[in-house]
Chains A and B, each alone.
Chain A
Amino acid sequence: MSEVKAENHEILEKVDPAPWREVPLVLNNRSFKWVTDKICGIVESKTPTWWWWCFITALCVASFTGMGLVYLVSTGVGVWGNNNPVNWGWAIVNFVFWIGIGHAGTLISAVLCLLKQKWRTSINRASEAMTVFAVLCAGIFPLFHVGRVWFAWWLFPLPNSNAIWPQFRSPLEWDVFAVSTYATVSVLFWYMGMIPDLAVLRDRAKETWRKYFYGFFAMGWRNANNHWRNFEMAYLLLAGLSTPLVLSVHTIVSFDFAVANLPGWHTTIFPPYFVAGAIFSGFGMVLTLLLPVRAVYGLHDLITQKHITNMCMITLATGSLVGYAYAMEFFIAWYGANSYEGFAFINRAFGNYWWSYWIMISCNVICPQLFWFKKIRQNIPLVWIISIFVNVGMWFERFVIANTTLSRDFLPSSWGYYSPTVVDIFTFFGTFGFFSVLFLLFLRFLPLMPMCEVKSVMPQADPHSDH
């Protein structure tokens, strides 16, 4: 017996346990100091020339929205291509498009936090910024679509001059609550996560304005363990609150359609289908934004191939979910044996807007399937191009849903072909500039990665091993 044991012991000594092959989240064994200097350096260094060029270009593009809205308010909503029965036109398409973009930011910051996905740390700040800015862009459209924008406050539960309150059976009123809550909570979450990083910038600041600016917003944060204890709990709670929030926002946005008794809209699949689409489009936009940022600032050690692969896979998964929803809509239209519903879907694919339907299918269903291949996931320029297709496809999805149904009303006498006017196009085009202006300001003045969270997933953060 003892011999056997000795033999075992001998073998055991020879056995070399296989190392745990986990890809590190921060490459090249970087130190804490490197992370601080890298992220703070972006904010503290002199404004790069490319930044000014991008900023000026973005401002020029944003002015298209400004001019479009000034023209609209001074003339009337007739300057948009909306008509009867296509009362919603591009306004609702753009609104749903932008609000959907925002969803990936909350998904990364909240849902992945609850799921303990550590790779989220280096991309969550920029994605949350994207959420906030996208929601601002989204808000423009319903606000001006009300026509007399100076009465937009009637949407809020405030007493107006006719003493009538808003009526709460309308999904549009639910939207007001959902979107304003979403915007507010996203800002709170974004800001709270930034406090420790703002304190770092405050402590490093040399110029007086920086000391005051970062100092004010850092609220006197001291890196004390007592602070961290409450901060971590609050962060977890906000993640827990944001998760049902993000699911509810696009659910309520889909109610705008699903509650209406119109063929092609009145379906129970809409809430999950819209949420999947929102996450899909949002990840498309995260890739579109972060790949250039990574290249420009040399963040390859922080946003690694692993991060990009994970984002590609989520895009693939949600893209496939969206594809499933498109197929299921057709199946139910046939299975439900409602001739109006059946017509709505045949019309979508082969009617007068067939081109938009097939752009949607090729961008949203076919394109992301390329992410099955490792070679494509590792080809960064190609990933970026596919992410653009995802953005385009998701805009067309909303266009298809809104316009194919409305332009073929129950009365064939009111059938028509809806086209946007140049004002529609300019106003929407400008929102990309508005979004870019905000995002560039974010890159310039705020820490684009949560330093404390990135450091927390590095091996040095482990209090039980010597690093």
Chain B
Amino acid sequence: MSDIMDIKYAASATFSSAKGLYDAAGKVKQEGYTNWECFSPIPVHGLDAQMGYARSKVPRFTLTGGITGFFTGMLIVWFMNEYDYPLIVGGKPYFSPIYPFPVFYELTILFAAFGTLFGMFFLNRLPRHNHPVFEHPDFGLTGDDKFMIVIEVDDPKFDDEETVEFLKRVGGESVQLIREPID
């Protein structure tokens, strides 16, 4: 019955220390798995390199936001005080990049901050309130004090028995398959 009602998503193994996860992650990478992920209550220092992740791309979004903000500020001031309704204040030029500098400065930061937050969301593919990994009975503990490695079925190297054995070999404490129910 359950075989029809759900599909296999991945094999998972829990660890109870950051070191356990870190060492095991190195072995998973070495073994040649490509479609896998680590879960931890904290950002584990050095795990990115261990997993072979490149540097995050969030800064690109920040830079784009910042540049957009700066020129938006300039455009606002130029359009409003020089182009659409020229305002004479103290007999000075209608527009100069100097006097309204605080406006450009603040908008640069404002847009860059939005770029950063939304860039983070975009790169993490969030919001996404459903995910097969949530089906793991102990998933909640990965926010508490458990660490977990999940190797997906989609991985070309995945094999029901071998992967489970492998996860046990690298020190996984509770190794089990994650099944995603379908309704």
Q: Answer whether residue A48 sits at the interface, using C-beta atoms and an 8 A cutoff.
A: no
- Assess whether A178 is in contact with B106, with CB atoms less than 8 Å apart: yes
Segment touching B, from A78-86, A217-225, A330-338, A419-427: A217-225
Q: How far is the CB of B139 from the nearest CB of chain A, in Å?
A: 7
* Residue in A169, A181, A204 whose beta carbon sits within 8 Å of that of B107 in the complex: A181
Q: How far is the CB of A367 from the nearest CB of chain B, in Å?
A: 33
A252-B109 Cα distance, complex, nearest whole Å: 15
* Chain B, residue nearest A459 (CB): B18
- Assess whether B59 is in contact with A237, with CB atoms less than 8 Å apart: yes
Q: How far is the CB of A197 from the nearest CB of chain B, in Å?
A: 8
A347-B116 Cα distance, complex, nearest whole Å: 49
A-side contacts of B42, CB under 8 Å: 228, 452, 455-456, 461
Q: Which of B9-48 contact A (CB under 8 A)?
A: 17-19, 21-23, 37-48
Q: Answer whether residue A460 sits at the interface, using C-beta atoms and an 8 A cutoff.
A: yes
A-side contacts of B144, CB under 8 Å: 32-33, 36, 200
Q: Answer whether residue B172 sits at the interface, using C-beta atoms and an 8 A cutoff.
A: no
Q: Answer whether residue B175 sits at the interface, using C-beta atoms and an 8 A cutoff.
A: no
Q: Which of B139-157 contact A (CB under 8 A)?
A: 139-140, 142-145
**Size band of the B side of the interface?**
35 or more
- Assess whether B113 is in contact with A238, with CB atoms less than 8 Å apart: yes
Q: Answer whether residue B126 sits at the interface, using C-beta atoms and an 8 A cutoff.
A: yes
* Chain B, residue nearest A33 (CB): B145
Q: Which of B78-133 contact A (CB under 8 A)?
A: 80-81, 84-85, 87, 89-90, 92, 99-100, 102-103, 105-107, 109-110, 112-114, 116-117, 119-121, 123-124, 126-131, 133
Q: Answer whether residue A56 sits at the interface, using C-beta atoms and an 8 A cutoff.
A: no
- Assess whether A237 is in contact with B116, with CB atoms less than 8 Å apart: yes
- Assess whether A225 is in contact with B44, with CB atoms less than 8 Å apart: yes
- Assess whether B40 is in contact with A225, with CB atoms less than 8 Å apart: yes
- Assess whether B103 is in contact with A233, with CB atoms less than 8 Å apart: no
Q: How far is the CB of A191 from the nearest CB of chain B, in Å?
A: 8
Q: Answer whether residue B51 sits at the interface, using C-beta atoms and an 8 A cutoff.
A: yes
- Assess whether A228 is in contact with B107, with CB atoms less than 8 Å apart: no
A34-B130 Cα distance, complex, nearest whole Å: 28
* Chain A, residue nearest B123 (CB): A230
- Assess whether A163 is in contact with B85, with CB atoms less than 8 Å apart: yes
- Assess whether A188 is in contact with B37, with CB atoms less than 8 Å apart: no
A-side contacts of B170, CB under 8 Å: none
Q: Answer whether residue A6 sits at the interface, using C-beta atoms and an 8 A cutoff.
A: no
- Assess whether A465 is in contact with B19, with CB atoms less than 8 Å apart: yes
- Assess whether A234 is in contact with B120, with CB atoms less than 8 Å apart: yes
B-side contacts of A41, CB under 8 Å: none
A229-B113 Cα distance, complex, nearest whole Å: 17
* Residue in B85, B120, B129, B140 whose beta carbon sits within 8 Å of that of A165 in the complex: B85
- Assess whether A467 is in contact with B43, with CB atoms less than 8 Å apart: no
A215-B117 Cα distance, complex, nearest whole Å: 18
A36-B59 Cα distance, complex, nearest whole Å: 31
Q: Answer whether residue B177 sits at the interface, using C-beta atoms and an 8 A cutoff.
A: no
Q: Answer whether residue A226 sits at the interface, using C-beta atoms and an 8 A cutoff.
A: yes
- Assess whether B48 is in contact with A229, with CB atoms less than 8 Å apart: yes
- Assess whether B58 is in contact with A237, with CB atoms less than 8 Å apart: yes
B-side contacts of A229, CB under 8 Å: 43, 48, 53, 56
A-side contacts of B102, CB under 8 Å: 174, 177-178, 248, 252, 255
B-side contacts of A173, CB under 8 Å: 103
* Chain A, residue nearest B25 (CB): A225
Q: How far is the CB of B17 from the nearest CB of chain A, in Å?
A: 7
* Chain A, residue nearest B141 (CB): A203
A330-B90 Cα distance, complex, nearest whole Å: 31
- Assess whether A463 is in contact with B143, with CB atoms less than 8 Å apart: no
* Residue in B17, B62, B109, B127 whose beta carbon sits within 8 Å of that of A185 in the complex: B109
Q: Answer whether residue A7 sits at the interface, using C-beta atoms and an 8 A cutoff.
A: no
Q: Answer whether residue A166 sits at the interface, using C-beta atoms and an 8 A cutoff.
A: yes
- Assess whether A215 is in contact with B129, with CB atoms less than 8 Å apart: yes
Q: Answer whether residue B77 sits at the interface, using C-beta atoms and an 8 A cutoff.
A: yes
B-side contacts of A238, CB under 8 Å: 113, 116-117
- Assess whether B106 is in contact with A456, with CB atoms less than 8 Å apart: no
B-side contacts of A227, CB under 8 Å: 124, 126
User: Which of A173, A196, A245 counts the most B-chain CB atoms under 10 A from its CB?
Assistant: A245
Q: Answer whether residue B7 sits at the interface, using C-beta atoms and an 8 A cutoff.
A: no
* Chain A, residue nearest B92 (CB): A169
A-side contacts of B106, CB under 8 Å: 174, 177-178, 181, 245, 248
A-side contacts of B57, CB under 8 Å: 230
- Assess whether A167 is in contact with B124, with CB atoms less than 8 Å apart: no
* Chain A, residue nearest B120 (CB): A234
B-side contacts of A418, CB under 8 Å: none
Answer whether A241 and B113 are a contact pair too, CB < 8 Å, given A169-B99, A177-B106.
yes
**What are the interface flags for A99-142 relative to B under an 8 Å C-beta threshold, 1 for contact and 0 otherwise?**
00000000000000000000000000000000000000000000
What are the 4 A-B residue pairs with the smallest beta carbon separation, nearest first? Answer: A203-B140, A165-B80, A463-B22, A32-B145
Give residues in A with beta carbon < 8 Å to B.
31-33, 36, 157, 163-169, 173-174, 177-178, 181, 184-185, 188-189, 192, 196, 199-200, 203-204, 215, 219-234, 237-238, 241-242, 244-245, 248, 252, 255, 451-452, 455-456, 460-467
Instruction: Enumerate 21 A-B pairs (CB-CB under 8 Å) in ascending A order.
Output: A32-B41, A168-B80, A174-B103, A184-B110, A188-B117, A203-B143, A220-B129, A220-B130, A223-B41, A229-B43, A229-B56, A230-B120, A230-B123, A233-B59, A237-B59, A245-B106, A248-B109, A463-B23, A463-B45, A463-B47, A464-B46
Give residues in B with beta carbon < 8 Å to A.
17-19, 21-23, 37-48, 51, 53, 55-59, 62, 76-77, 80-81, 84-85, 87, 89-90, 92, 99-100, 102-103, 105-107, 109-110, 112-114, 116-117, 119-121, 123-124, 126-131, 133-134, 139-140, 142-145
List 4 extra interface pairs beyond A165-B87, A181-B106, A463-B47, CB under 8 A. A32-B144, A220-B128, A237-B58, A463-B46
